[in-house]
Amino acid sequence: MIVETNKERLVKQAVMAEVNHPSASSGYRVDWDGVPRIGLGMSGVKYNVGVGDLCYFLENGEHTEPGLSITNSNPGESQALGVLGCIGNEVKLTSGEAKGEKGYITGKHGSFLCWFPPEAQEKICPGDKIKVKAWGVGLKIAGFEETVRVNKIDPELLEKMGVEVRGGKLHVPVAREYPCWIMGSGYGMFPVTIDYDIQTTCDLVWDEMELKDIRFGDVVCLRDQLNWWGRGYYKGAVTIGVVIHGWSYSAGHGPGVTTILSSKDDTIVPEIDPHANIAYYLGVKEKPK
Site residues (vs other proteins, CB under 8 A): 30-34, 179-189, 197, 199, 201-202, 204-205, 224, 226, 228-235, 250-253
* Count of CA atoms in the C-beta half-sphere (13 A) of 43: 14
Side chain identity at residue 144, one-letter code:
F
Residue 182 Cβ vs other proteins, minimum distance, rounded to whole Å = 6
DSSP string computed for 110-143: SSEEEE--HHHHHH--TT-EEEEEE--TT--BTT
Decide whether 76 or 167 has the Cβ nearer to other proteins. Answer: 76
- Rounded CA-CA distance 191/207 in Å is 28
Q: Helices marked H in 9-89 — which ranges?
A: 75-84
- Give the H or E element holding residue 12: none
Residue 250 Cβ vs other proteins, minimum distance, rounded to whole Å = 6
Helix (H, G, I), strand (E, B) or coil at 38: coil
Helix (H, G, I), strand (E, B) or coil at 93: strand
Residue 240 Cβ vs other proteins, minimum distance, rounded to whole Å = 17
Between strands 176-178 and 219-227, the pairing is parallel
- Rounded CA-CA distance 214/235 in Å is 25
Q: Are 99 and 93 in contact (CB under 8 A)?
A: yes
Residue 24 Cβ vs other proteins, minimum distance, rounded to whole Å = 15
Decide whether 1 or 204 has the Cβ nearer to other proteins. Answer: 204
DSSP string computed for 147-181: TEEE-SB-HHHHHTTT-EEETTEEEEEESEEE-GG
Q: Are 60 and 246 in contact (CB under 8 A)?
A: no
Residue 281 Cβ vs other proteins, minimum distance, rounded to whole Å = 28
Residue 232 Cβ vs other proteins, minimum distance, rounded to whole Å = 3
What is the sign, positive or negative, of the torsion defined by CA atoms of 244, 247, 250, 251? positive
Residue 206 Cβ vs other proteins, minimum distance, rounded to whole Å = 11
